[in-house]
Amino acid sequence: MSQTATLPSGHRQIQQAALRQIVKRFPGVLANDRVNFDVKAGEIHALLGENGAGKSTLMKVLYGLYQPDDGQILLDGQPMTFRSPTAALASGIGMIHQHFMLVQTLTVAENVALGIHRGGAVINLEGVRARVHELSLTYGLKVDPDAYIWQLSVGEQQRVEIVKALYHGGALLILDEPTAVLTPQEVRELFVTLKQMREQGHALIFISHKLHEVQELCDRITVMRDGRVIDTIANEGVDRRKLARMMVGRDVTFVPEHPGVTLGETRLAIQHLTVRNDQGLAALRDVSLEVRSGEIVGIAGVSGNGQRELAEAISGLRAAASGEILLSGKPMLRASVSERLRAGLAFVPEERMKHGIIGAFSVAENAILQNHGVPPFARGMFLNFGDIGRHARGLIERFNIKAPSTQTPAKNLSGGNIQKLILARELSRQPVVLIAAQPTRGVDISATEYIHSVLMAQRSAGVAILLISEDLDEILALSDRVAVLYEGQIVGMLARAAFDVETIGLMMAGAHHQRD
């Protein structure tokens, strides 16, 4: 690690950025409690913590999105006040967001130019193109200034975000979950770039929930819990279990046990399914797949390759153009959502706030959304609030849902507890098929551990599970078979004994077709 490295021309030099005794309060919440943090030129400093630990709030203070209630920001020992991200960027601080801030219909150079302020003067787009090309060569980012964003892969779009930050003089870059939507090959390419930036003198803050990535990439690691810094440690020789224990306060199981089970009959069969997306284009093309009782079939793929349309077609939220969907041998292509539920289907949706719960409804009301009109929850036209309350309390206890009461509005729960509530409701109906779409997206390490254990228990109980996830580690840990979806088609199917990250990654990128 070099703290005296010199950045390429056009960048402000930042040798050290420090946050000292930062306090940030929100109504009823102390998000940051006297937090100290620093990052130096020529290092990659990881920031770890569960949801609600305070790490995002801390970075928003550094980036000028929030103003601290107390404490200081220091750049090379000088106190700074950032009233906006524009002010932070002017001082050399940039942020690469998990969800890219790019205009799809503009070119790379035009997207970079959007942040230029020249007081009404005409922007020299040719100069922008030349500088983008120069940065691409300097950092090995492989970006075509004239390419339109919609033409680029997810990994290429991320490179554009990095180039954009570098163009505007970013000496310190905050990277928020930068690998969440990348293939394994794209992750490796990103790490090469980040290591090169470190060697050239940039200071990098790397936010990730993937501990193996932190161990591979970072120089120092700061762990936060409940708004406080637990410790800052050097990465050399650090144990992953120790990091998890620091984050959660207890030991964590990373890979659930995967015992052998006796497979039963086919519970979900998809035959030659074609589904259109919101623009009327084919999102799925002639997809066929089976899931048997007692197995988990994982769907791997980079975001936008038909995963959402597949889940919505099976659950009845999206009409299919052609093909067939069978639940326990019964045709369901034209069936309503309620008919599919009665046939034994359960669905954990990708967008939990949009399709999973009604935020203003209570925990108890959300627990009976699909069964509110049947006994014992209803008697004729009237709800039986006693049985509804008992049912909700039972689910809270059984699924370890942290809720102040059964009457708490569901929107007030954390992301992990909302996901547990959805899972509890779906499994309380004792389904034969479970569609789990991005079941641990945006939830912390302890909630992820619990959700994985529940899915494995359902597998052992004979439920047929279709797991759709953009987290390849999750797919490999839980699945008995993996189908790779690329541009709406299944381009490969691998049994557990044949799992190989390199092969699956190539198939995810469309470069390799294989069927077990």
Q: Residue 76: helix, strand or coil by DSSP?
A: coil
| Rounded average pLDDT over 156-170 | 88
Q: Is the pLDDT of residue 197 over 80?
A: yes
| pLDDT confidence of residue 2 | 43
**Residue 322 to residue 414: CA distance in whole angstroms:** 39
**Residue 19 to residue 303: CA distance in whole angstroms:** 35
Percent of the chain past pLDDT 70, that is, above it, reads 93
Alpha helices by DSSP H, listed for 277-327, are 307-315
Domain at 14-92+170-183+197-249, CATH class: alpha beta
Which two structure tokens, joined as six digits, stand for 273? Answer: 């399914």
**Residue 163 to residue 141: CA distance in whole angstroms:** 8
> Taking the CB of residue 329, how many other CB atoms lie within 10 A of it?
10
Which two structure tokens, joined as six digits, stand for 61? Answer: 């203070």
Which two structure tokens, joined as six digits, stand for 14? Answer: 């930042």
Q: Is the pLDDT of residue 9 over 60?
A: no
**Residue 89 to residue 65: CA distance in whole angstroms:** 12
CA distances from 367 to 336, 389, 428 (A): 21, 9, 9
Which two structure tokens, joined as six digits, stand for 366? Answer: 């959300």
Confidence of residue 10 (pLDDT cuts 50, 70, 90): low
pLDDT tens for each residue of 298-346: 999 988 899 999 999 999 999 999 999 999 999 999 999 999 999 999 9
Of 466 and 358, more confident: 466
Phi-psi region of 345 (alpha: psi -120 to 50; beta: other; left: phi over 0): beta
Q: Which of 72, 87, 67, 79 is nearest to 19 (CA)?
A: 72
| pLDDT confidence of residue 333 | 94
| pLDDT confidence of residue 117 | 59
Are 174 and 44 within 8 A, CB to CB? no
Q: Is the pLDDT of residue 61 over 90?
A: yes
Place of tokens 């769907």: 299
| pLDDT confidence of residue 373 | 60
Place of tokens 């009237």: 382
Q: For all residues of the chain together, what is the average pLDDT?
A: 88
Confidence of residue 254 (pLDDT cuts 50, 70, 90): confident
| pLDDT confidence of residue 3 | 45
Are 252 and 446 within 8 A, CB to CB? yes
Q: Is the pLDDT of residue 123 over 90?
A: no
Percent of the chain past pLDDT 90, that is, above it, reads 50
CATH homologous superfamily of 266-354+431-515: P-loop containing nucleotide triphosphate hydrolases (3.40.50.300)
Of 303 and 418, more confident: 418
| Rounded average pLDDT over 386-390 | 81
Q: Where are the domains of the chain?
A: 14-92+170-183+197-249, 99-169, 266-354+431-515
**Residue 119 to residue 298: CA distance in whole angstroms:** 52
**Residue 225 to residue 361: CA distance in whole angstroms:** 30
Which two structure tokens, joined as six digits, stand for 183? Answer: 């293939």
Give the best-scoring range by mean pLDDT among 116-130, 217-231, 365-379. Answer: 217-231
Confidence of residue 261 (pLDDT cuts 50, 70, 90): confident
| Rounded average pLDDT over 448-463 | 93
| Burial call 276-285: b when 16+ CB within 10 Å, e when fewer | bbeeeebbbb
Which is it for the CA torsion 49, 54, 60, 62, positive or negative? negative
Are 139 and 132 within 8 A, CB to CB? no
CA distances from 280 to 15, 161, 302, 334 (A): 52, 29, 21, 19
**What are the strands, taking DSSP E only, across 84-141?**
93-96
Which two structure tokens, joined as six digits, stand for 492? Answer: 């490969």
Q: Which of 179, 191, 246, 98 is nearest to 473 (CA)?
A: 179
Sort 449 into a burial class: Cβ within 10 Å, 0-12 / 13-18 / 19+.
Answer: middle
Q: Is the pLDDT of residue 370 over 50?
A: yes
Which two structure tokens, joined as six digits, stand for 346? Answer: 């359960």
In this structure, which amino acid lies at residue 7? L
Confidence of residue 210 (pLDDT cuts 50, 70, 90): confident
| pLDDT confidence of residue 171 | 92
